[in-house]
Structure 1
């Protein structure tokens, strides 16, 4: 797991489209990939990205986001170590 400020974080992040509020990147080794025909997958119309996260983050501000992440992301729901503390 790489967090902002870790060695290699920015280089790995450059492979993805810009996103607001990237908390961490997880590098994995894929050993097997499966696929299906997709015949049972329904069709849908893409309407766009949701904006709830952006609006929520704007209301929180930088200090509020750091406090939220420190409280909510320090451990996983399984009690495992989570993200480093933000200032």
Structure 2
């Protein structure tokens, strides 16, 4: 049975903080719906019961930023792959804060590892949905993958910008991400 509220409670916060992975979903007005698995340590900060910050490193696409320019809705989902069954969905609105923005330092300084950061998403929680999760299988966590963080550590900012200019200016549907422009 689903339990829907309008803010995080301590159970939700404890559950989120114990998870190793989450999923982010956004959609443009028309085009592909995007659903992305996210991991990596120190990328998800709970500010209060209705606000979170999510640090997004650059990668193969930039769908979330493009979608939020058209429709600022975002759903974030956590699943219990170990321990008690639970699925937690956060129904949110969000906006991308990028290095070009005047408030970038305020947001990026909330995170320890800033190298390779592409955006910080400021996310406002409008609904919280806990459901049973009995159909989610159990998995053993082996660790975070190191390939991406090793790449970031062994490359410089100029290389990061070059990559983002090649791969992150448009979504897979050809929608603008406004990564380096207003």
Q: TM-score normalized by structure 1?
A: 0.70
Asked whether the 8 Å contact 2:98–2:104 carries over to 1, the reply is yes
Helix, strand or coil for the counterpart of 1:4?
coil
Give 1:68 shift. 0.8
Report which of the two has the higher share of strand: 2
C-alpha RMSD of matched pairs (Å):
2.5
Aligned pair 1:35/2:130, yes or no?
yes
Q: Does 69-78 or 3-12 show the bigger shift?
A: 3-12
Partner of 2:147: 52
8 Å contact 2:115–2:153 — kept in the other structure?
A: no
Could you tell me how far 1:61 is from its partner in structure 2? 3.5
Higher mean displacement: 2-11 or 43-52: 2-11
Please give the per-residue CA displacement for 1:8-33, whole angstroms capped at 9, x wherever unaligned. 22323344453542101222333222
Aligned 8 A contact 1:20 1:54 in 2: no
Is 1:22 matched with 2:149?
Answer: no
**Higher percent of residues as helix:** 1
Gaps of 5+ in 1: none
Quick one: distance in 1 between partners of 2:170 and 2:125?
25
Q: Provide the aligned length of Structure 1 versus Structure 2.
A: 85
Could you tell me which runs of 5 or more consecutive residues in structure 2 were left unpaired when the two chains were aligned: 1-95
Relative contact order (C-alpha < 8 Å, sep 6+): which is higher? Answer: 2
Residue 11 (str. 1) matches residue 106 (str. 2): yes
Runs of 4+ in 1 over 6 A off after TM superposition: none
> Given the alignment of the two structures, is residue 80 of structure 1 paired with residue 175 of structure 2, yes or no?
yes
